[in-house]
Amino acid sequence: MERALVNLTAATVAFSLLFLLSQSNPPTSPPPPLLFPPPHRGARPSMILPLFPSPKNPSRSFQNTRRHLLKSDSKSSNPNARMRLYDDLLLNGYYTTRLWIGTPPQRFALIVDTGSTVTYVPCATCEQCGRHQVVKLIGSRISFNQDPKFQPESSSTYQSVKCNSDCNCDKSMVQCIYERQYAEMSSSRGVLGEDILSFGNQSELVPQRAVFGCENAETGDLYSQRADGIMGLGRGDLSVVDQLVEKGVISDSFSLCYGGMDIGGGAMVLGGIYAPSDMVFTHSDPVRSPYYNIDLKEIHVAGKQLPLDPSIFDEKHGTVLDSGTTYAYLPEAAFVAFKNAIIKELDSLKQIRGPDPNYIDICFSSGSSNVNVSELSKIFPTVELVFGDQKKLLLSPENYLFRVSFSLCDCFSFNWEFCSVLNVHYVSSNFLHVILIKHSKVRGSYCLGIFQNEKDLTTLLGGIIVRNTLVTYDREHSKIGFWKTNCSELWERLHRTGGQSPSSSSSGKDNSTVESPTTSAAGGSSRYALPGEIQIGEIRLDMSLSINNSYLKPRINELTDFIAVELEINASQVRLLNFTSEGNSSLVRWAIVPSESSTYISNVTAISIISLLAEHRVKFPVTFGSYKLVQWKVKPNSQQPWRQKHYSTVILSIIIVIIVGLSASAAWVIWRHRQRNINSYKPVHVAVPEQELQPLES
């Protein structure tokens, strides 16, 4: 639970082995003893829960070693940090978010883990850290680019945490250290540092100083995983949530919303949100265990209660909710009852072999290769979790099934012959060949994503249980809420409803252009400094590429998509202004503009974009050669909100419409009155004036 262990599918094992062949084997420390035996030894994306108690001497530099909960309402005016989630359970086994550390900001992809109590990233001094890479989809191409390590010397705001009575110290008693060991035989250790953490341009919460881990060594799955590190959301003094709460900048709550079977991604909010009226809450006792537990009493399959004593879900650590675990794991008796109930309900479906030859998965063929996720409930039974107050959480099939589809595999050129025998489909090639492995299993098949937790009595509910579910961890009121929703749409709603920094609303009247040449001189963060908290309407970038104009022209759209992916923005935000030839090189001018749902670019995002390009932390494909950021500019947002910009026009239009309407109504009344006078009925005996005859014209 302290981190997400990913044992990949059979195809992904090949993927991992090929990747590791390209790297030297890291020295590893002796594996720690297993607290839990693995739930199964098959190669699949599963997580193991190492339930380590909180350390007696938590590694932190704060003088107050006890966390004081803020007595604030989740509906208070405290800002929150709204952050996008990436990846999915099937291909990655976890969800990640982007966190920026330092000044200028350095970006990292971190696994969001409610079972971890520390946030850490690889340090520049680490000689035993893996080559962490994030999969990037650029059009129809897939790219693997190595992420840089955190460089403390490049951050003007970094401070090491000096040895004190509240932390574990290094051998020289100079600096605070941390060390984490996990049940899947991986480990992380390093030093503690303090720096500015930024939460992205959708966040209301301004950057905050916080303590984090700078890794000096990692082993096992931590070494080979794609994500850079872990973002700890658990209970503990080093937790990001606890630090922000103790500072008083957020209320004592956070929320996660994982995408569904088809989409992935999702949203995360650090701080309070308005809970929907129909959100289902259950008690979460912080004294029961150091992890987020819920008061589970019953499980129903197709409306029928499983014949289980409710106490089975309260053994050992109880029922634990862990975002870093992929699947769900039940005690033996509960799993057997659940499995039998599912098989009984699906007796008409063909039971087939799973994707892992080393493990007997419980899989079924749906009979169709094109079943929509929304139609799965017509084939598979519903499942309900019943809590202590008899409130129920309805699980759709995507909350307990995983689809047998495809996995990613990457091969270096010298391993191409090996990969070619694995039934692959070629996608792209640079120095790294990227391919898709399609399973030869029955298409349209689904397997249970709930397993037996070996002989352990803890009930562990991982990410699959809360797909397309907003989960609110209301720590202040010791409860956890669940609300079924489309998490991809939830992010869009959060994206549209806010995200402006409180300090940025007072500026933006200055229309001057902030401009700076980019040089190689060491200037720290000052070369990216922006004057005040302006609302940025455009970032203009002049970039020199070491390829000629005729070669670049037909590939400019591909380059645009690549830049958007690398900078973590939408392709519609990247606009090509012009490009010219300079001998054998090209000079390209770009403009980065706000997204469609926003009116400005935050300073944090602007500095991140500029520093990524200026410090060559964006790795271009070899087809585009090398690049240099020659100059950058930022222009304040000169656009008023639509309501203000068109206020007078709207008022004038309304007045005109009212006048025209009244005039038309008056004209109609007059016309009707005249018609009645002309055509009114006259009795025969009534004398009427003679009509004067007009003389005929000769």
Listing DSSP states for 427-446 in one string gives EEESSEEEEEEEP-S-TTEE
DSSP code, position 378: G
Among residues 160, 212, 222, 211, which one has the least CA distance to residue 188? 222
Return d(Cα 675, Cα 678) in angstroms, integer.
5
What are 296-324's pLDDT values in tens digits?
A: 999 999 999 999 999 999 999 999 999 98
Question: How high does pLDDT run on average in the chain?
Answer: 75
Return d(Cα 36, Cα 633) in angstroms, integer.
55
> Would you call 451 helix, strand, or coil by DSSP?
strand
Q: How many CA atoms lie within 13 A of 187 on its CB side?
A: 19
Return d(Cα 67, Cα 154) in angstroms, integer.
32
Does pLDDT of 142 surpass 60? no
Return all residues near 177 (Cβ < 8 A) that are at least 6 apart: 59, 167, 168, 169, 170, 189, 190, 191, 192
Query: Distance between alpha carbon 530 and the CA centroid of its chain, in Å?
Result: 28
Give the pLDDT confidence score for residue 563 in this predicted structure.
86
User: Cα-flanking dihedrals φ and ψ of residue 272, to 5°?
Assistant: -80, 150
Q: Is the pLDDT higher at 566 or at 251?
A: 251
How many residues would you count in the chain? 698
Return all residues near 654 (Cβ < 8 A) that are at least 6 apart: none
Give the pLDDT confidence score for residue 14 in this predicted structure.
40
**What is the pTM for the complete model shown?**
0.66
The answer to which of 189-193, 199-203, 544-548, 649-653 has the lowest mean pLDDT is 649-653
Give the pLDDT confidence score for residue 405 in this predicted structure.
56
* Cis preceding linkage at 104, omega within 30: yes
Burial of residue 553, with CB atoms counted within 10 A of its CB: 0-12 exposed, 13-18 middle, 19 or more buried = exposed
Degrees, nearest 5: CA angle 567-571-573:
80
Does pLDDT of 687 surpass 80? no
Place of tokens 């390590």: 149
Give the pLDDT confidence score for residue 673 in this predicted structure.
73
Does pLDDT of 228 surpass 90? yes
CB atoms within 10 A of CB 9: 25
Among residues 596, 261, 582, which one has the least CA distance to residue 402? 261
Catalytic center residues: 113, 322
Give the pLDDT confidence score for residue 596 in this predicted structure.
73
| Beta carbons of 364 and 445 less than 8 angstroms apart | yes
The answer to which of 115-119, 135-139, 250-254 has the lowest mean pLDDT is 135-139
Q: Is the pLDDT higher at 54 or at 164?
A: 164
| Beta carbons of 403 and 448 less than 8 angstroms apart | no
Pull the structure tokens for residue 399. 């909350």
Does pLDDT of 648 surpass 70? no
Give the pLDDT confidence score for residue 509 in this predicted structure.
39
Give the pLDDT confidence score for residue 77 in this predicted structure.
61
In angstroms, how far is the first alpha carbon of the chain from the final one?
111
Place of tokens 């599963």: 46
Return d(Cα 267, Cα 86) in angstroms, integer.
8
Does pLDDT of 388 surpass 60? yes
User: Cα-flanking dihedrals φ and ψ of residue 495, to 5°?
Assistant: -65, -35
| Beta carbons of 580 and 586 less than 8 angstroms apart | yes
Return d(Cα 284, Cα 473) in angstroms, integer.
9
Residue 253's identity, in one-letter code, is: S
Q: How sure is the predictor about 78, in pLDDT bands with cuts at 50, 70 and 90?
A: confident
Return d(Cα 589, Cα 601) in angstroms, integer.
18
Return d(Cα 12, Cα 534) in angstroms, integer.
46
Which range among 26-35, 598-607, 657-666, 687-696 has the greatest average pLDDT? 657-666
User: Cα-flanking dihedrals φ and ψ of residue 557, to 5°?
Assistant: -65, -40
118: left (phi over 0), alpha (psi -120 to 50) or beta: beta
Give the pLDDT confidence score for residue 27 in this predicted structure.
37
What are 420-465's pLDDT values in tens digits?
A: 333 333 333 333 333 333 333 445 789 999 999 988 899 999 999 9
> Quick one: average pLDDT of 238-245?
96
> Quick one: average pLDDT of 210-238?
92
Q: How sure is the predictor about 528, in pLDDT bands with cuts at 50, 70 and 90?
A: low
In order of their start, the domains of the chain are: 81-250 (2.40.70.10), 278-407+440-494 (2.40.70.10), 536-636 (3.30.70)
Give the pLDDT confidence score for residue 277 in this predicted structure.
87
> Quick one: average pLDDT of 525-536?
60
